[in-house]
Structure 1
């Protein structure tokens, strides 16, 4: 399908904006408009128009002398959100110790802003639905544990992100709210074949006393082993208590 003129112009502006951001990220704060036009062989009028738009949207900021540009708050937020969380060696050693005590998958998940991040995936039991787990919070145990701490779900669960991944995925918001209440009362989250058919997972909160959970210790396996996974809840809670001061 051929793009119309306005669509082609919009696509070109997007590409050029990304090229400008990449150039400033590479050359560093203080990069001038002339440096950008020379580096990208871009017409000055185009560069100035896009630079002003990027400043207006806070993807860029002007330096104090007003001669150059630096990355702004909006783009640094993207960088922070995409960064892989750092796990201290002491926490990794504790995770390995706990993994040696269970035959199930053990993953460390951290909560960041309005999302969850896989901080340490079990190397012997790799996640098969990692992208779905991070994107569809309502379908994973860690995601539901995260959601159970929020008063308003609308900003993290827009309509397009309440997707039915399996026949057992909860997509009705009222049913989901009830499930989240049960999680808060029970103290840990469970999902059974909601993220992936034939698989279940349990998520225990990792938190400093008196604070919301900053992450979860997750145990996963086949659905028929759910009762055996539940038997590990006390030891998982103990491990989570030991992990909290090492992570936060």
Structure 2
């Protein structure tokens, strides 16, 4: 890549990503000169971008202050780009539970204030997967996550909440009341809120410290929600079995 005058190199916006790639490839202790040489970048540009990445904690200086290493903020990017891994033992116990029911059973993981589909029921795929991931206020799993996060780390937009159906909660005060109920009951529900005709019950899968790291969702037609809830006790037992495998 040539940054000399008269040659058209990569855009300025790509510089941070390319520098992160170089540090990741060369490893801890990579110097500013090595970055500039690897990218044929003006040293002044390399220093400026490196310092900005350190400030944002995507990079960290080595103890001797001569080089750089990947910072802890980069882990968030890696986790966001990597699909959740479900151990075979966890998948097996989920499949055992699925075999005894005629409704969908999904495992949804919580990562960096977002939902990630970890184990989707192969017989009853999620029909509104995008909407569930994009609008957490409209789904049982999303509300369970929001209840766990609280106001300090809420991923909700500052503006109005998206109305997906006539039953979607769009009033933020009402949503806060619902989240308080979820914290008290230890479960979240969704009836015709994400999509008309569907309902879900989301139960928490807890980390060793007691915080919630995933949701086990029982899903089916809204008219069968009562039947779904009859399996809540067995599903709670399943979450206890799952936790050691997942966390």
Say if 2:30 is the partner of 1:31: yes
Unaligned runs of 5+ residues in structure 2 are 1-9
List per-residue Cα deviations over 1:76-120 (Å, max 9, x = no partner): 232234433332222111001001111211111223342332221
Alignment correspondent of 2:244: 245
Say if 2:78 is the partner of 1:75: no
Does the residue aligned with 2:233 lie in a helix, a strand or coil? helix
Unaligned runs of 5+ residues in structure 1 are 1-10
Alignment correspondent of 1:65: 64
Alignment correspondent of 1:221: 220
The Cα shift of 1:208 comes to 6.2
> Which range is displaced more, 224-233 or 145-154?
145-154
* Cα separation, partners in 2 of 1:160 and 1:125, compared to 1, 3 Å: farther
Does the residue aligned with 2:215 lie in a helix, a strand or coil? strand
Alignment correspondent of 1:176: 175
Alignment correspondent of 1:106: 105
Measure, in 2, the Cα distance between the counterparts of 1:90 and 1:59: 34
Alignment correspondent of 2:15: 16
Measure, in 2, the Cα distance between the counterparts of 1:185 and 1:19: 47
The Cα shift of 1:153 comes to 5.7
Measure, in 2, the Cα distance between the counterparts of 1:50 and 1:212: 37
1:13·1:50 contact (CA, 8 Å) conserved in 2? no
TM-score by length of 1: 0.84
Measure, in 2, the Cα distance between the counterparts of 1:129 and 1:77: 25
Does the residue aligned with 1:214 lie in a helix, a strand or coil? strand
Alignment correspondent of 1:234: 233
List per-residue Cα deviations over 1:182-214 (Å, max 9, x = no partner): 334443211112222332211112236882333
Alignment correspondent of 1:51: 50
Alignment correspondent of 1:190: 189
Runs of 4+ in 1 over 6 A off after TM superposition: none
Aligned Cα RMSD in Å?
Answer: 2.5
Measure, in 1, the Cα distance between the counterparts of 2:22 and 2:208: 45
